[in-house]
C-alpha cells in the first residue's frame, strides 16, 4: 500500500480597492474573491458595497479591502451580507481593511455582522487614516454562532484590531481578542453574551452624541455603554443573540450618521 499524499486545500484570495475624487469614482480594482459594487446614488452620497464571493473564511484565506474616500466628500461603505468565519484546521484566515479619508471628507464604514463558527481562527486588522478635519463613523458586530440553529462555540481564536489615525497619529486603537477561555459564561468576561457590538464616531464634536446615545440605548433591550473624549464617541454593546443587537445597532448608527442604514442592511 502507498501512503496517501496530504490533500492540499484550495485557499481563497481577494483584493478590492475603490477610490474617489471629488465624490466621484476615480479608481476601481478587483481581484479574486473580493468584489466592490456601487449602487446607484439617490441622495448624493455614494455607497460602496464590498463582497467576498468565496462565501466565508477559513484557514489560509486572505481578503484585502481598501477604500480612499478622497477630500471633501461623504462616502458610505458596507458589506453585502454577513461575513462568516468557519472552522480552521491549519492556521488563521486573514482580513485587512484599509480606509483613507481626505481633508473635509467623511466616511461611514458600516460592515454587516461577522459570524464566528466553532473552531474559527480569524485575524483581522482595520486601519483608518484621517487627514486634517476628516471624520468617521465605524461599526463592527461579532456573532458567536447562530442561536436559531442551535450552534455553540467551544473553541475559537480571534484577533480583531481596529486603528484610527489622524495625520499619522493614533487617535483610537481597539485591540480585541477572543479565545476558548473567554467563551465560558462568566460575568467578568462575556457573561454568556453571544453577540458583541462596537460603534464609534471620530470627529470634531463627537462627544456631544454621548447623552443622546445613552437615552436611545436605555430604550433598547441590550446592555451597553457610551463614552466620549477628545473628539471621539464610542459605544460598546453585548446581547444574547445577533438579532436584538442588530436592531440596537441600527438605531444607534442612525443617530450617529443622521442617515438611513445602507440599503443592503434593510433587505
* pLDDT tier at 77, thresholds 50, 70, 90: very high
Q: Tell me the per-residue pLDDT of 84-115, one tens digit each, with 9 for 90 and over.
A: 999 988 889 999 999 999 999 999 999 999 99
User: What is the per-residue pLDDT for 210?
Assistant: 98
Q: What is the DSSP string of 108-160?
A: EEE---EEEPTTEEEEEEEEEEE-TT-EEEEEEEEEES-GGGT---S-EEEEE
Residue 198: closest CA among 256, 143, 237:
237
Mean pLDDT within 156-163: 95
Asked whether the beta carbons of 201 and 213 are under 8 A apart, the reply is: no
What's this model's pTM, rounded to 2 decimal places?
Answer: 0.93
Helix H or strand E encompassing 248: helix 242-257
pLDDT at 182 over 80: no
Q: Are 116 and 58 in contact (CB under 8 A)?
A: no
Amino acid at each position: 500500500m502507498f501512503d496517501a499524499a496530504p490533500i492540499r486545500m484550495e485557499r481563497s484570495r481577494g483584493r478590492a480597492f475603490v477610490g474617489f475624487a471629488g465624490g466621484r469614482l476615480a479608481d476601481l480594482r478587483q481581484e479574486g474573491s473580493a468584489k466592490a459594487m456601487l449602487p446607484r446614488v439617490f441622495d448624493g452620497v455614494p455607497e460602496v458595497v464590498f463582497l467576498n464571493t468565496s462565501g466565508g473564511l477559513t484557514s489560509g484565506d486572505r481578503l484585502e479591502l481598501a477604500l480612499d474616500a478622497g477630500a471633501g466628500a461623504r462616502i458610505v461603505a458596507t458589506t453585502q451580507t454577513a461575513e462568516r468565519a468557519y472552522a480552521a484546521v491549519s492556521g488563521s484566515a486573514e482580513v485587512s481593511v484599509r480606509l483613507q479619508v481626505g481633508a473635509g471628507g467623511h466616511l461611514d464604514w458600516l460592515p454587516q455582522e461577522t459570524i464566528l463558527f466553532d473552531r474559527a481562527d480569524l485575524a483581522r486588522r482595520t486601519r483608518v487614516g484621517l487627514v486634517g478635519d476628516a471624520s468617521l463613523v465605524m461599526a463592527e458586530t461579532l456573532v458567536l454562532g447562530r442561536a436559531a440553529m442551535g450552534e455553540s462555540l467551544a473553541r475559537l481564536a480571534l484577533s480583531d484590531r481596529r486603528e484610527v489615525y489622524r495625520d499619522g497619529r493614533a487617535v483610537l486603537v481597539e485591540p480585541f481578542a477572543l479565545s476558548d477561555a473567554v467563551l465560558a459564561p462568566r460575568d467578568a468576561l462575556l457573561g454568556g453574551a453571544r453577540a458583541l457590538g462596537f460603534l464609534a464616531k471620530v470627529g470634531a464634536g463627537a462627544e456631544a452624541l454621548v447623552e443622546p446615545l445613552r437615552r436611545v440605548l436605555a430604550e433598547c433591550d441590550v446592555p451597553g455603554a457610551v463614552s466620549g473624549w477628545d473628539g471621539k464617541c464610542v459605544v460598546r454593546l453585548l446581547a444574547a443573540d445577533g438579532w436584538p443587537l442588530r436592531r440596537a445597532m441600527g438605531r444607534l448608527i442612525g443617530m450617529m450618521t443622521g442617515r438611513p442604514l445602507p440599503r443592503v442592511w434593510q433587505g
